[in-house]
Structures are given as C-alpha cells and as structure tokens.
Amino acid sequence: MSHLVECVPNFSEGRRMEVVDAIADAIRSQGGRVVDVQADPAHNRSVVTFVAEPEAAVDAVMAGARVACERIDLRRHQGEHPRMGAIDVVPFVPFADLPMGVCVDLAHRFGARLLGELGIPVYYYGEAARNPERRELERVRRGGFEDLREHILEPERQPDEGPAVLHPSAGATAVGARIPLIAYNVNLRTTDIGVAKEIARKVRASSGGMPNVKALGFDLQDRGLVQVSMNLTDYRVTNIWKVFDAIRREAERRGVEVAESEIVGTIPLDAAVRTVADAVLEPRLRMDQILEKRVWAAE
Amino acid sequence: MSHLVECVPNFSEGRRMEVVDAIADAIRSQGGRVVDVQADPAHNRSVVTFVAEPEAAVDAVMAGARVACERIDLRRHQGEHPRMGAIDVVPFVPFADLPMGVCVDLAHRFGARLLGELGIPVYYYGEAARNPERRELERVRRGGFEDLREHILEPERQPDEGPAVLHPSAGATAVGARIPLIAYNVNLRTTDIGVAKEIARKVRASSGGMPNVKALGFDLQDRGLVQVSMNLTDYRVTNIWKVFDAIRREAERRGVEVAESEIVGTIPLDAAVRTVADAVLEPRLRMDQILEKRVWAAE
C-alpha cells in the first residue's frame, strides 16, 4: 500500500452548504479522498477531512483553497469561533506510518503556493512552525482576522510566508503539521457544574494535570449531566484510557459516578490499540495484532 | 474493496518445517494471502492463517490440503494435541463485514471437495454443523484419530460427508464456520496455582461463569506468576475488557494483583473497538470511527 497523508482544512463557512460542497468537490477533483465534512452553522465554519497520496495532497487542498478564496469574504463573516482566514487552518497529519517530516514538507510547500498563487500570507504552526513561539495554534490565531489586520506590522505578528499584508477578503492562513487530535468527553452523573470544572482543572496540562490534555467543564442541562470536554493533543503520551481512569477516580472521590464517555469523530487505530493496552495491562499489544491492519495495510 | 474470508487450517505437522512451508506455498499459489504461520513442535501441529476472496478460498485451502495429504501420515504422527486428521481442522471465518452464511457455504463446498478429490471424510462443526450435537469442535474431535478409527461405524460417530471409512493416512477432517476466536491470558502476581484454577473456574462458561469463555489455570513457574489462560469464543458476547475486569475483581478479593495480560496472535478490529467501548463506558463507539477502517475498507 502506498503511504497516505491526512489533511484537515478548516474553512470559514458553515452556513452556505453550496460553498462547502464546492470546496469538497474541488478537493476530490484533485485526488483527495474526502472521508468527512462537518459544517457548523453556529460557528459558521466547516472542517473537511481527506486523505491523499502525499504527491496529490497539496494540489487537492490548493483546489479547495482556491474555491474558498473566491467565495468567502472574511469582512462579511460572522461566527463565534476565532478565525483569521477564509482558509483558516490547514494541518497535515500522518496517516498510519507516514513520517512527520513528510507532513512538515507538505505544509511548507502548500504555504508557499498559498502565497504565490492566491496572495495569502501564511503562519506555520505545530511541527511545521519556523518560530518556536508559533507551535501552538492558539497563539498564532489569537485575536483573529480583525486583530491581525491592525497589528500585522508588529514584528511578532508578521507572517512566516509573505509580506505583512493580509489578503483583503481571505485574510491569512495557519498551515501546520501535527499528529491526530482526539476530541474526548466524559459525562458525569451530577448536575453540579462545579464538579466538572474542578475535575477539568485537575486533569488539564495547563494547570499541572496530565500532559497533552486540554479540558473544560460544561453543563449538559437537557440531560441532567455535566461534562469534562477534552482535546488530547498527543494520545501517545496521554491516551483515552489514562484520562478516563483519572477522571473516574476524581469523580469517585467526590461521590460522583461516570455516566458514559464520548469519542468524537475518528481516532487513529494506534490510539484504540494503546487504549486497549493500558486498560487491560497488555503493554506488548501492537497494531499488527489487529487482523484488518495486517490485511489492509498490505494491499 | 472486495469481501474477504479468513481461513485458519490446522495441520498435524509442526516439526518438519519443509512440509509446513510447502503447505503454505501451495495456499499462496492459489490466491491465499498467508498472514501468519505458527508451527508448534511440542504439539507437532501448525496453524496457517490466510485471507482470500471467497471464490479463491476453497481452491487455496484445497491446494494446502493436497500437500498435507501426501506428506503427513497420521499413523506415524505423535504429539500432545488431540487430532483426527492430517488436515485436522479447517474453520472459515468472516473477515470484516462478510456474512457468516458465505463461510458456511464455503465450508460445505470445501468438505465436498475434500471427500471427492482426496477421499477424506468430513465432520462439519460450528455454524457449518449439520448435526446440532457437532457444533462444538471438542465433541467432534474427542478421542482423536485412534479412537475414531475404532468407533467410526457407530451411528453417532459417522461422518457428515462420505462413508464411515477413514482415509488410511490422513484420517478425517473437521470443517467449520465460526467467528474469530480470541486467545487471551491474564497473569497474576502470586505463585499459588490454586488462585488461577479457582478464578478460571469462576469465569468459564462451563462452570456457570461468563458466556463464551473457556478458561484454565496454569503455573508460569519460571516467572513466579500464575495464569488464567482463556479462549473467548464469541467476543461479541464476552470481550477482553469484561473478562479482564472480572478476573481483576476476583484477584483483588483474594489479595492478588494482576501483573499483566496477553492477547495472543491477532484479534479483529471489532474486538478492539468493543474493548475500548466497554473499558471507557462509550457504548456508541463504532468501527467506522477508526480512521484507517474508513480509508482502507473503502479501497
């Protein structure tokens, strides 16, 4: 089997489905195999997930970017989610055994073409960052389009690719390389939102909890539950089982039961295998022991 | 992607590797994709795991059977494992979404050819059983070659395919259809073999434990541990997490710690996903959420 790369571009359009569809079609037309499209009207934002041969991936996402650049005008865009561009964020993610270096290279090639062909300045983040201060996407994107328009001339806000001038309607784009993120929630059988917020604080990395965990507490009012909502930014360090087990213990200490958990969207097979390995104390379990992996990966 | 079937023939040869290799090569020559070969000299037995398109699977295993029939003589075979044929057991197993009915049909077609082309009588077991008494392989195989040779004329021992006459050197063959078995062990931090035997009795189906669990207690003397060694015969009913969790509780009640567990050989992706789902209370988790499954299964 040939190697594949996953690419998860985020576009600042989640209401006009004809635009989202046109973007996905353009990606498909250049060899991108679209596996998921999520359009969020509240955030007015959509996320396309596709895989492609590395040689085709840049052409595919460029085709999508060209449509987005023509049809999305950030000056008229409204939505809750922070964003700085019509093509807001473009991460390249290794699929299966693809080396990260290939993703970094693709990010830089795509960034150069975004500037050269569409005149959109680029900020590199994640493993593709050229400035260590820009590894975290949140720092690159803070303040969004309107803030960046005002401050782009300041030295620490200047793009990595292109002059300090935003594209008038399409803004700027964050282009990166990263391992797959896992969106994971644990729901607790209580209506006390304080419990969820407290446990979120206990487990998240930023307040000294578990590494590579972002966590917030939410109220699920209609269900009579509260939620610890997480992003696991490196499941190789902190996987689903570890965070579930830690939250369950914290909840038990407070006399609260875990109602259920939710794995949102897709996860890599490797993350599922590591979860099994940790849950049943089977540290030698390998992806190669999954029969489908042996058969499909060999095709 | 085309549908595939898994086939796991067991041959009564585990010492002469040239014979095992010749069998595997014959399977490959007819379109079988061999993913694993395990030869066990103590049991003098080998297990070949291959996948194939359903149309090719019968030809592939017939080719292996022909070599085994020529080169293995049960009258001179010694080994600890119960066996009744040179081609001892041939289960057809659904791979991914293949319906069980296809496996049953392949088992019956293969059985008819074993008799017609090689003169080997056949007993059908598992989902392919024609006699409800023969669903369990153990019942079909009890006493092995030597016992069957004496008793084959008795009504309840007569083959499903062919007259009541064993092939002189190759004996008889059990041909079946079943879901994948999982070989799974849990190792306990104690040298008291009684604990392993007691817990095995608690969890196995035959003594009123968990359904579809076979379990025995063993001593791992060289490691200072004891082992609950299991076969999970239907992971959809009792999966890895459920049995691990039950054994951990039983061990805790006896003041014993689980040292580790071992998943032996391959497991289907579905079994890994169900284990994650149960371990982290995520009942809605689906195989389709494994990114590789989406991509590879679509190829």
Mean pLDDT value of segment A235-240: 96
Contacts of A259 in chain B (CB under 8 A): 281
Substitution target from A35, A227, A242, A280 for chain B, most B beta carbons within 10 A: A280
Does any domain span residue B299? no
Probe site for chain B from A247, A252, A292, A296 (most B CB atoms < 10 A)? A292
| DSSP-derived pairing of the beta strands A122-126 and A173-177 | parallel
Q: Do B157 and B214 lie in a common domain?
A: no
Whether residue A134 sits in one domain with residue A95:
yes
Same domain, B140 and B196: no
- Whether A31 is in a domain gets the answer yes
Q: Report pLDDT for B269.
A: 95
Choosing from B154, B177, B200, the residue where a domain stops is B177
Hey, are the CB atoms on B284 and A262 less than 8 Å from each other? Answer: yes
* Number of C-beta neighbours around residue B263 at 10 A: 24
**Interval B210-236 mean pLDDT:** 94
CA distance B126 to chain A (A): 21
Are B11 and B106 part of one and the same domain? yes
Whether A275 contacts chain B with CB within 8 A: yes
The answer to whether B294 faces chain A, any CB pair under 8 Å, is yes
Contact check, Cβ <8 Å, A269/B269: yes
Residue B119 tokens, joined: 């003169």
What domain count does chain A have? 2
Task: Indicate the residue among A145, A177, A209 that finishes a domain.
Answer: A177
Rounded-to-5 percentages of helix, strand, coil across chain B: 40, 25, 35
Which of A78 and B137 is assigned the larger pLDDT?
Answer: B137
Q: pTM for the full model?
A: 0.85
**Is the pLDDT confidence value at A55 over 70?**
yes
Q: Specify the pairing of strand B213-220 against strand B5-7.
A: unpaired
Residues A200-234 pLDDT 10s: 999 999 999 999 999 999 998 888 999 999 999 99
Would residue B259 count as lying in a domain? Answer: yes
Q: CB contact, 8 Å: A239 with chain B?
A: no
Question: Who among B283, B291, B295 is closest to A267 (CB)?
Answer: B291
> Are both A194 and A167 inside the same structural domain?
no
Interface membership of B37 toward A (CB under 8 Å): no
For residue B187, what is the DSSP state? E
Does A153 lie in the same domain as A264? no
> Domain check: are A170 and A207 in the same one?
no
Residue A80 and residue A46 share a domain: yes
pLDDT (tens digit per residue) in B246-269: 999 999 999 999 999 999 888 999
DSSP reduced 3-state for A98: coil
Q: How far A23 CA sits from the closest chain B CA (Å)?
A: 20
A106 and A237 belong to one structural domain = no
Number of cross-chain residue pairs from A and B with Cβ atoms under 8 Å apart: 138
Task: Say if A89 falls within a structural domain.
Answer: yes
Annotated catalytic residue within B77, B81, B108, B151: B81
Distance CA A32, CA A51 (A): 6
With a CB cutoff of 8 Å and minimum separation 6, the contacts of A71 are A13, A16, A19, A22
B268/A contact by beta carbon, under 8 A: yes
| Closest partner CB to B51 (pick from A95, A284, A295) | A295
Residue of B nearest to A261 (CA): B282
| Chain A interface test: which of B244, B276, B278 (most A C-beta within 10 Å) | B276
Asked if B43 is an active-site residue, the reply is no
Whether A299 is in a domain gets the answer no
- Asked if residue A208 belongs to a domain, the reply is yes
Contact state of A291 with B33 under an 8 Å Cβ cutoff: no
Q: Using 50, 70 and 90 to split pLDDT, how confident is the model at B299?
A: low
Taking only the tens place, the pLDDT of each residue in B175-195 is 999 999 999 999 999 999 999
Structural domain span for residue A219: 182-292
**B30 burial via Cβ count (<10 Å: 0-12, 13-18, 19+):** middle
User: How far is the alpha carbon of A140 from chain B, nearest alpha carbon, in Å?
Assistant: 28
Are B147 and B26 members of one domain? yes
Q: Region B42-48: what's the mean pLDDT?
A: 90
Whether A201 and A165 share a structural domain: no
> Which domain CATH number covers A261?
3.30.70.670
Residue position matching structure tokens 């369950």: A248
Among residues A43, A77, A81, A108, the one annotated as catalytic is A81
Contact B78, B43 (CB under 8 A): no
How far is CA A180 from each of CA A126, A175, A269, B13, B275, rounded to the nearest angstrom?
A: 12, 15, 11, 45, 21
B297 domain-assigned: no
Domain holding B49: CATH number? 3.30.990.10
Q: Is residue A254 part of a domain?
A: yes
Domain boundary among B148, B177, B206: B177
Based on the fold, state whether residues A192 and A286 are members of the same structural domain: yes
Q: How close B263 comes to chain A (CA, Å)? A: 7
pLDDT at A1 over 60: no
Report, as an integer, the average pLDDT of A190-208. 97
ipTM for this model: 0.84
